[in-house]
Homo-oligomer: A and B are copies of this chain.
């Protein structure tokens, strides 16, 4: 992990490192801070064990429900929270709800929990954004907002299809068949390379074949 509070486009260390680090799976995030401080411990992705987690969006009214959320984090995980960003708390909620065992269920429960507590405090649309998480092997990506107007998320079409369409593109020959990019907004200049993820959906990128499924938060169970 490399995190910096300087603009990415002027960061010499980032440029140097990028030339020396290879990975079959990597996460990149540029943060436009709203609310919590600009400091390395608030930079995405957040990490716990083998897991990374990042988010393009926000928890609305976070200050008013932060205490509720933090108290719900598993006691043994609590000391691992290093910063003050809403996303980090969401990550530890998801870990509390079983992210390592069932990522879609845990994220659905974490967002459901945020929505329940936000609405209890009078916040109309508590959650907004897209999320990506990984255990280093597979990747889970989510697009959802309480308002139903989520920030965008795009993924690349199958690389083999792209190669046929753009046989002259060097980069398409360099990457493996199962390469998949997931981005907030399309990059580059290949029309037709990007497919937008639908509202309220999630995707799994994994070796055994990728999936695109619908997503809905799971509200917390009420005590009888």
Contact = CB atoms under 8 A, between A and B. Distances in A.
Contacts of A37: 10, 12, 39-41, 82-83
Copies in the complex: 4
Contacts of A82: 37, 84
A20 B41 CA distance: 20
Interface stretch (A66-74, A168-176, A178-186, A207-215): A66-74
A33 B41 CA distance: 15
A101 interface: no
Contact of A40 (B7, B12, B70, B78): B12
A148 to B, nearest CB: 28
Interface residues of A, number: 33
Interface in A18-47: 20-21, 33, 37-41
Contact of A75 (B67, B75, B78, B79): B67
A66 B79 contact: yes
A123 to B, nearest CB: 14
A28 to B, nearest CB: 15
B12 A3 contact: yes
A38 B6 contact: yes
A173 to B, nearest CB: 27
Contacts of A33: 10
Contact of A2 (B5, B16, B64): B16
A6 B11 CA distance: 12
21 contacts: A1-B16, A2-B16, A3-B12, A7-B7, A7-B38, A13-B40, A37-B40, A37-B41, A37-B82, A37-B83, A39-B39, A39-B40, A64-B79, A66-B78, A66-B79, A67-B79, A70-B70, A71-B71, A81-B84, A82-B84, A83-B84
Interface of A: 1-7, 10, 12-13, 16-17, 20-21, 33, 37-41, 63-64, 66-67, 70-71, 75, 78-79, 81-84
